[in-house]
Amino acid sequence: MEKKISITDVARRANVSITTVSRVLNKVPTVNKEIAQRVDQVIAELKFRPNPTAQRLAKGTQNTAVGFVIPGYPGIFHSFYAVELMRGIGHGCETLRLDLIFHITDGRNPLRSNFAGGLIFADIIENLPQVETAVHENTPCLVINHIVKDLDVSYIAVDNVKGGFTATEYLINLGHKRIATVTGNMQTQAGIDRFEGFQKALKQHGIDCQPDFCFKGDYSRRSARQAAERFFSLEHPPTAVFAASDDMALEIISVAMENGIKVPEDISIIGFDDNPAGLFGPVALTTIKQPLFAMGEEAVKVIYDIMMDKQIGVVHKVLAPDLIVRESCSQPSS
């Protein structure tokens, strides 16, 4: 991809400060005429196109909005994941006095990139063509919750491999060897990576990954119930389960109790998310906390810097998840 010429490049070539270039671009009359001519000549030579968003913000003539683009999946406004991202992004916009435009999409229609000064995409699964278009048009943009390897775009993500590894190793350190998992949607990077972390932990500790102990879920309670019913019907059921979301972990606890299986005495359960709902069930849920609020807030800071030309080049940040120990895990009884 051709390198985008920045205001920093212009300032360096003209041997002036970035502030001076900005003043020339905004036609401030007090700038020395000879310096202004030199800056204009460099702008022409480099074919620099100023960022209109940054110019509007610098002049203070227009409040610029940030667009949050998220797939329109069922139950979005009941999703802990989506709500936490919205809270973080909303707080970031409030802090920087930016408006927030919330855009729900199926990914099929092109976005009007002029509706906001910068775009934050929640993941990339259904939105890849829209992200590619934004990058091609040099629209400031950033992807949340997805480590993008084949596109020159900024992202802020969670280390899901580490999260899956940490959850599984915690169970192993408690003494469990028959460990099952219910994966997230394996079309998502999070689902794939959490399962990879699960497998890595087993392999590192010399434990076989048994096919009967691996159920491909989709983050829903329905898939977790199906998985739990299968696990509990086995001749030698697992003594512990790592669920790739708290919703699934809570459903597995429900199925266990319905079948007279005690948690954590008979089976240990660990989830992923740190959903507050995990605190209020019959057993407080041990889980992996992913910093969703912080990820959303940081995304606004990064996209603002890109919009203002303070950030040159793409930003890649991967945040570490944390183990939250509560009551749903213990040593195996046998």
Q: Copy the structure tokens of residue 3.
A: 């390198």
- In a domain, residue 59? The reply is no
pLDDT of 61: 43
The mean pLDDT of the chain is 89
Per-residue pLDDT, averaged over 54-61, amounts to: 51
Domain residue limits at 192:
160-290
AA letter at 41: Q
pLDDT of 20: 83
Q: Are residues 259 and 183 in the same domain?
A: yes
Evaluate if residue 291 carries a pLDDT over 90.
yes
Q: Are residues 168 and 244 in the same domain?
A: yes
Q: Copy the structure tokens of residue 246.
A: 């708290």
- In a domain, residue 98? The reply is yes
* CATH code for the domain in which residue 140 is found: 3.40.50.2300
Q: Copy the structure tokens of residue 79.
A: 């999703």
- In a domain, residue 333? The reply is no
pLDDT of 24: 84
Q: Are residues 305 and 284 in the same domain?
A: no
104 touches 270 (CB < 8 A): no
pTM (two decimals): 0.79
- In a domain, residue 104? The reply is yes
Per-residue pLDDT, averaged over 219-240, amounts to: 96
- In a domain, residue 334? The reply is no
Give counts: helices (H), strands (E), the chain: 11, 12
Nearest 5°: the CA angle 234, 240, 245 is: 105
- In a domain, residue 56? The reply is no
Q: Are residues 28 and 144 in the same domain?
A: no
Number of domains in the chain: 3
Evaluate if residue 264 carries a pLDDT over 80.
yes
272 touches 81 (CB < 8 A): no
* CATH code for the domain in which residue 14 is found: 1.10.260.40
* pLDDT band, residue 63 (cuts 50/70/90): very low
